[in-house]
Amino acid sequence: MSKLLGCCGGRLLSVAWIVLLGCGGSGAADSTTTTSTTDTGEASTAASADDTLGPPTGTTDGPGTTGVDGGSTRGSESEGSGSSTGEEPPEPLDLPPADPPVPVPPGTLHSVDIPCGPYPETAFDVFLPPSDQPTPMVVFIHGGGFTGGDKSAAYGGQTALEITALLEAGVAFATIDYRLLQTVDDEGVIKPLGDSRYCLQFMRYHAASLNLDEARIGAYGGSAGAGTSLWLGTHDDMADPGSPDPVERRSTRLRAVGLRETQATYDVIRWLDEIFAPYGITLDMIIMAGLEQRLLSFYGIDSIAELDTPPIVAYRDDVDMLDLMDGSDAPIWIHSQNQPEAFPTDTGSLFHHPYHAQAVMEEALAKGVEQVSYIPVLGIEDPSGETLVEFMLRHLEVR
């Protein structure tokens, strides 16, 4: 161990693993102030706070798929979508109009800070295109390592352009907020993941107010938002038909998922054993660096010994997107271009290393999940050239 620490531990322990365990930084995909000339999504938005850590149906084989297109007027915001499940319909949502922060087509309704859960931090903004038929939706989930950032990340850079393009195609757009992790956290990463899950279900529950086609919803994001989108896209349906909360009876399945600078899994032990295996990073190195509490907070536990107990193994399994993935899952669009193929030495290179994207791509190939991948540093460029918007429109069956 001392020999290993001597050869690479200085770089690792001083920066990268501090970041891994939630101590801070500014390297999220939506947290830098620089912009690539290619499809980099959130990469041009302003720097945020600390950056640490029913199966799809009707999908098609290529761009240009015909499908549902929005009409000229917005559908009636009549009460509820509960009739399809035999439950009482919800009260209509209050959607006061707000000035849109990006260019939108005429007739678009933009409403902000719509509560979507029992916590003040959980809310979403929405853009609803004019249509007399229920519309598909794309949900944006911000990055920031689960410790920073907010839904306004959508309003800068490439993502702002994508909002306009999706609305012009008749697709609604939402950007959501979730509770952030604390330095000492007794719930762990499942807290922000669960908030995003609930917000998705909340929007489905209020499909009538939002004029949504519940069956045609996709999600994407950068960094932590990408990982969350991947978790939603690979997890079996988390609808709970027996829940007393009608929101939780709604499906969590997605039609398509988009990832920019993603993490491959939130079972961090797999980062050590597999993702970064070529670099010899170990759990002992984390503990020796005095970062034990950071790792504990990621899973809401009190001791490292708990990592291998049945409840925490089950926890890790439930946030292991690679293992959750199967052939029924949503198709995945993958983009990773901001980091080199090199030993991770800072926030960005650790969380957005191309090995994460490669691991997702390889798992999708192995399990028969459609993927469109762009990882240029590894020589991976999908021949279709399909952009994120084109990918979403194809799988949401929009002309």
The alpha carbon torsion through 319, 322, 324, 330 (nearest 10 deg) reads: 110
Q: How far apart are CA 92 and CA 106, in angstroms?
A: 23
Task: Report the C-alpha gap between 129 and 131 in whole angstroms.
Answer: 6
Measure the CA angle with vertex 110, ends 82 and 121; round to 5°. Answer: 70
At residue 183, the pLDDT reads 86
H runs (alpha helix) in the chain: 2-4, 10-11, 17-20, 157-168, 190-205, 207-210, 224-234, 268-270, 283-288, 292-299, 310-318, 321-324, 347-351, 354-367, 388-395
d(CA 275, CA 264): 8
End-to-end CA distance of the chain: 58
CA-nearest of 105, 103, 121, 102 to 113 is 121
Cα separation, 207 vs 340, whole angstroms: 42
pLDDT in tens, 66-80: 222 333 334 433 333
Question: What tokens were used for 352?
Answer: 């957005």
Among all chains, which residue has been given the structure tokens 């830098």?
32
Task: Report yes or no: 69 and 167 within 8 Å, Cβ to Cβ.
Answer: no
Evaluate whether 178 touches 121 at the Cβ level (below 8 Å): yes
- Report d(CA 29, CA 303) in Å as an integer: 31
pLDDT tens-digit profile, the chain (399 residues): 322 333 333 333 333 343 344 433 333 344 333 333 334 344 333 333 333 333 333 333 333 322 223 333 344 333 334 445 567 899 999 999 999 999 999 999 999 999 999 999 999 999 999 999 999 999 999 999 998 999 999 999 999 999 999 999 999 999 999 999 998 999 999 999 999 999 999 999 999 999 999 999 999 999 999 999 999 999 999 999 999 999 999 999 999 999 999 999 999 999 989 999 999 988 887 677 566 777 888 999 999 999 999 999 999 999 999 999 999 999 999 999 999 999 887 767 888 999 999 999 999 999 999 999 999 999 999 999 999 999 999 999 998
Task: Please list the residues that pair with 109 across neighbouring strands.
Answer: 128
Distance CA(209)–CA(82), nearest Å, equals 12
Cα(349)–Cα(95) distance, rounded to whole angstroms? Answer: 40
45 with 35: CB under 8 angstroms?
no
Domains of the chain: 2-395 (3.40.50.1820)
pLDDT of residue 388: 99
Structure tokens at 42: 């959130």
